[in-house]
Amino acid sequence: MNPVPLKESRVLRWTIAILGLVLVLSVTQELARPETNDLISAGTAGSTLRRAVPILLAGLGGIWAERAGVVNIGLEGMMILGTWFGAWGALEFGPWWGIVIGIAGGAAGGLLHAVATVGFGVDHIISGVAINILAPGITRFLSREIFATQTGGGITQSPRVESVGHVDFPFLSGGEVFGWASPDTFGWIADRGWFLVSDLCAVASGVTSNVSWATLLALALVPGTVYLLWRTPFGLRVRSCGEHPVAADSLGVNVYRMKYAAVIISGGMAGFGGAFIAIEQTGIYREAQTQGRGFIGLATVIFGNWQPLGAFLGSILFGFADALQLRDRTAVHALLLLTGVAVGLVALRALRRSQPVGAAVLLLISALVLWWYSVTESVMSELPPVTPHIATLLVLVFATSRLRMPAADGMRYRKGQE
Amino acid sequence: MPPATAVELTGITKRFPGVVANDDVHISVTEGEIHAVVGENGAGKSTLMKILYGMLAPDEGRMTVTGDEVSFSSPGEAIDRGIGMVHQHFMLADNLTVLENVILGAEPKRRGAIDLEAARTSLEELGASYGLDIHPDDMVDTLEVGERQRVEIIKVLYRGAKILILDEPTAVLVPQEVEELFRNLRELKAQGHTIIFIDHKLTEVLEIADTITVLRAGRTVTTVDAADVTAQELAEMMIGGDLPSPSTATHQIDDHVTLALAGVSVTGDDEREALSDIDLTIRRGEILGVAGVEGNGQGELIEAILGLRQLAGGYLTFRGEDIGQWPVRRRRESGIGYVPEDRHRRGLLLDAPLWENAMLGHQTVEPFAKGSLIDRSGARKATEAIVDRFDVRTPGIDTTARALSGGNQQKLVVGREIAADPLLLIAAHPTRGIDVGAQAAVWEELRRVRAEGLSVLLVSADLHELIGLADRLVVMLGGRIVAELDPADTTPRLLGSHMTGAEVDDGEPAT
């Protein structure tokens, strides 16, 4: 088999998928006007990206641990450590050091998880839950010792922290080049109001203007993880530990060392995610500000079939739901329309694959959601904040078919076992 | 000049708690030959090879590789010495490609990354020069068994091994794949590699090997030239001459048929036919012995009778009723007892107390249950009774099963099944890996229940056990019953010939 056409067809498939997605969004937007203008806009796109980053980082963290065969349900706790240490580092040494120290805080949580699960063979879930319980306790204690003595700080929050720099892309979104303001191409087209084209450019404008350097760093970790895990000897050894540790051991791979490394990297990623929330998203450390994003990140691991790109797509999806409910609550009502349409499309696909029962159920759901949309003006106030979680559930329900987890994921490994 | 010695093992002894797996073993392998190591299950072949590959350390003895004395503490050191092992259970990660599996741990690098091009080239070169047909970018889980084995061989060659150990390589292969493997092995030999080949299929061994070493009960029996020996002679050496006298106790077998299989076929895990057209009957008060080299359908036969495996064809009748579609629970409750072959994996919950273990498989019936609830006091009383009656040596019934010795664990399992008063008892290797005292106790118990009219299906690799206990013997080979014998005029030698498919030429009646 020649690999080149395969690659081309993959690029083509992705292009079609993205265009199709924007088309669905555009159509839904037109239907939902004038109720909301936020379904597809530069603001929503930018916000989606910012909201997606912590989830993405948790997801990448999950991939690192699980590819090495360690289930890391402690991502949430490691993220919490990241928020605190990130904010503390940013206060003491400036925002970039905050990111670094946040990563270190998460990595320390990862090390603890590795010692428990790899070193002592503790059940992965139990250790993870323990870390999730331990982390808020540690941060509360540290806050009382440190933040409570500072002006603007208290036992549940830090003083305000400065964020790292932001950037507008030159020529695309009007960034400066040596002091000269380049044209804002995407912004200009977005304002024309051309169907689909303007919407595409609005999205592009949103993700290329006022972008935090930390966001760019986080995005770079997606290809970075792919490279490390699939192109280097280290990555191959890590993955072999998640698939068949006995085989890896029989070939002289130090299984324990690989697992330790992967779980520490996993914690570092989650810590970065936490630091991002504190430093970039909110500009302050506040207790419980991770809001379960570590768990949602874990969901993107499954959604993304243990692949970094898949986790990235998952994080964008959850980021979108999150952004929408934050920016404009009426947009969540329009989201019902979108959900109805999307479920309808999945139903059609099921019909094409001759799964009549599934198709009928999905069509019924689709009809119910659309009916709900048409007879109501707004949704109850409880719904918007839980939208990301409902989206998580829906996606996992529809995405679990072709998933394949690492074969030895979650299993205890002892050297010399057979 | 005589050819150099590739590997020499002198006086190797390895003890495990309660057993001596290798007892003063001597083997000398000449460079460039195919040297087969044969012996019954439990003769110590695998232990010996694990010692040579650095997976186990010997308690006594010396090893030399190409003249230098060595002692390995890990497989890595054996690999460095040019020794490679193809394991019986493949050491391959399904979700990685062939290429990734081969280079793992010895990756070619370029600027920190894996040099995929170089790896692919060297793999294709290896494949071409030894006639091993492989595709580097296939995922391992899409490969057939034979292809997987080729990947394992390539893996070993990629690391520069000159001495290859193959642990029962033909056990998982169909005949065409065996031929392919043998072609590959002859090619390797022609290019100067030394091959140590573990097997117990004697016809195959005679076909491929130059020299054969026979092990029995952990000791070297002899080393012979393959050209100077026949399959019968080998079988005799493997099994040994001394036999206990068969049980002479008279008992009554009546005409009442307990279990009948008619034309039963079953599909195995690998989608191949594991049982073909099996006809069997067991009458009341009869012990039917099933002989055969392991993996010839005995496991599937048991699973089919118990209902763990669907019938692909044929009929299964128990006391005149067609039970072919019954669920396992209903079959058990109607009176089928089961002593599993592997007590740790299938017979016991090692970390549960004895009284819980004693109700496994009987948890829905008295005295272990009252209605839909577990009857704790009833269960404990019944467990005490089992412990007393079957002489299970234990401090108490709250002890975990793990704390018991193998023999006492087995007595508990056998006791549990017999105490439930079954009509048919399936006993798979009931005395494997237990000490002589416990073995005698289990045998005695089987004889006693037979006298009470119980039917027993006895599957065993211990030929003395089969000949001594069974009223009738059948031999399985390749998923079929190839012979039915009367133990009164059967010798282990004849039985061995049938089991290995060797020609029966000494005029003894085969039916």
8 A C-beta contact, residue B383 and residue B358: yes
Chain A residues at the B interface, defined by Cβ less than 8 Å, are: 227, 231-233, 236-237, 239-240, 243-244, 246-248, 250-253, 404, 406-407, 418
Q: What is the pLDDT of residues B156-177, one digit of tens each?
A: 999 888 999 998 888 767 667 7
Distance (Å, rounded) from C-alpha A221 to C-alpha A152? 34
pLDDT computed for residue B164 by the predictor:
92
Chain B residues with beta carbon closer than 8 angstroms to that of A415: none
Residue type, A148: A
- Taking CA–CA distances from A416, the nearest residue in chain B reads B55
For residue B139, give the DSSP letter: B
Residue B243 clears pLDDT 90, i.e. is over it: no
Q: Which of A309-313, B38-42, B144-148, B243-247 has the lowest mean pLDDT?
A: B243-247
CA triple B201-B203-B208, angle to 5 deg:
95
Domains with residue ranges and CATH for chain B: 5-91+161-239 (3.40.50.300), 257-500 (3.40.50.300)
Residue B242 clears pLDDT 50, i.e. is over it: no
End-to-end CA distance of chain B, in Å? 52
CA distance, residue B277 to nearest chain A CA (Å): 35
Higher-confidence position of A354 and B215: B215
DSSP string, A45-93: HHHHHHHHHHHHHHHHHHHHHHHTT---TTHHHHHHHHHHHHHHHHHHH
Q: By the CB < 8 Å criterion, does B73 face chain A?
A: no
Q: Which one, of B471, B17, B496, lies nearest residue B249 by Cα? A: B471
Residue B462 clears pLDDT 80, i.e. is over it: no
Chain A residues with beta carbon closer than 8 angstroms to that of B104: 236-237, 240, 247-248, 251, 253
Joined together, the tokens standing for residue A96 give 């970039």
pLDDT computed for residue B401 by the predictor:
86
8 A C-beta contact, residue A306 and residue A66: yes
Report CB contact under 8 Å: A253, B79.
Answer: no
Q: What is the pLDDT of residues B297-308, one digit of tens each?
A: 888 899 999 988
CA distance, residue B148 to nearest chain A CA (Å): 14
Give kind and range of the element (H or E) at residue B477: strand B472-477
pLDDT computed for residue A1 by the predictor:
37
What is the CB neighbour count within 10 angstroms for residue A11?
9
Q: Which one, of B242, B232, B243, lies nearest residue B506 by Cα? A: B232
pLDDT computed for residue B250 by the predictor:
54
Q: Which one, of A42, A166, A197, A46, lies nearest residue A95 by Cα? A: A166
Joined together, the tokens standing for residue B506 give 């000494």
Joined together, the tokens standing for residue A199 give 């919407």
Residue B419 clears pLDDT 90, i.e. is over it: no
Report CB contact under 8 Å: B92, A407.
Answer: no
Distance (Å, rounded) from C-alpha B184 to C-alpha B190? 10
CA distance, residue B327 to nearest chain A CA (Å): 29
Instruction: Over range B139-168, report the average pLDDT.
Output: 88
Residues 6 or more apart whose Cβ sits within 8 Å of residue A141? none
If pLDDT is split at 50, 70 and 90, which confidence band does B511 have? very low
Residue type, B45: K
Q: Where are the domains of chain A?
A: 35-165+210-305, 169-205, 328-398
Q: Which of B89, B94, B107 sits opposite A236 (nearest CB)?
A: B107
Q: Which one, of B58, B86, B83, lies nearest residue B71 by Cα? A: B58
- Taking CA–CA distances from A251, the nearest residue in chain B reads B105
Higher-confidence position of B317 and A346: B317
pLDDT computed for residue A222 by the predictor:
95
pLDDT computed for residue A2 by the predictor:
39
CB-facing half-sphere around the CA of B406: CA atoms within 13 A: 18
- Taking CA–CA distances from A3, the nearest residue in chain B reads B137
Instruction: Over range B383-399, report the average pLDDT.
Output: 86
Joined together, the tokens standing for residue B496 give 């061995």
Distance (Å, rounded) from C-alpha A177 to C-alpha A291? 39
pLDDT computed for residue B194 by the predictor:
93
* Burial of A1 per CB tally in 10 Å (0-12, 13-18, 19+): exposed
Q: What is the pLDDT of residues A242-293, one digit of tens each?
A: 999 988 988 888 899 999 999 999 999 999 999 999 999 999 999 989 988 9
Residues 6 or more apart whose Cβ sits within 8 Å of residue A356? none
- Residues in chain A, overall count: 418
Query: What 3-state DSSP class applies to A259?
Result: helix
Report CB contact under 8 Å: B75, A252.
Answer: yes
CA triple B243-B249-B253, angle to 5 deg:
115
CA torsion, points B128, B129, B133, B139, in degrees to nearest 10? Answer: -80
At which residue do the structure tokens 């000398």 appear? B28
Q: Which of B96, B100, B104 sits opposite A253 (nearest CB)?
A: B104
- Taking CA–CA distances from B101, the nearest residue in chain A reads A240
At which residue do the structure tokens 């080049």 appear? A177
Query: What 3-state DSSP class applies to A28?
Result: helix
Q: Which of A273-282, A331-340, B90-99, B328-337 has the lowest mean pLDDT?
A: A331-340
Query: What 3-state DSSP class applies to B24?
Result: strand
Q: By the CB < 8 Å criterion, does B95 face chain A?
A: yes
Report CB contact under 8 Å: B109, A233.
Answer: yes
Residues 6 or more apart whose Cβ sits within 8 Å of residue B307? B323, B326, B327, B328, B331
In the predicted model, residues of chain A with pLDDT beneath 50 are 1-6
Q: Which of A216-225, A283-292, B103-112, B391-400 has the lowest mean pLDDT?
A: B391-400
What is the CB neighbour count within 10 angstroms for residue B476?
24
Q: How many CB pairs under 8 A join A and B?
A: 66
Mutate to test the interface with A, among B72, B91, B95 (most CBs of A within 10 A): B95
Chain A residues with beta carbon closer than 8 angstroms to that of B87: 250
pLDDT computed for residue B313 by the predictor:
86
Chain A residues with beta carbon closer than 8 angstroms to that of B76: 252
Report CB contact under 8 Å: B94, A227.
Answer: no
For residue B440, give the DSSP letter: H
Q: Is the peptide bond before B367 cis (omega within 30 degrees of 0)?
A: yes
Q: What is the pLDDT of residues B37-64, one digit of tens each?
A: 988 766 788 888 888 988 888 899 999 9
Residues 6 or more apart whose Cβ sits within 8 Å of residue B198? B36, B37, B38, B45, B46, B49, B165, B166, B167, B168
Distance (Å, rounded) from C-alpha A78 to C-alpha A83? 9
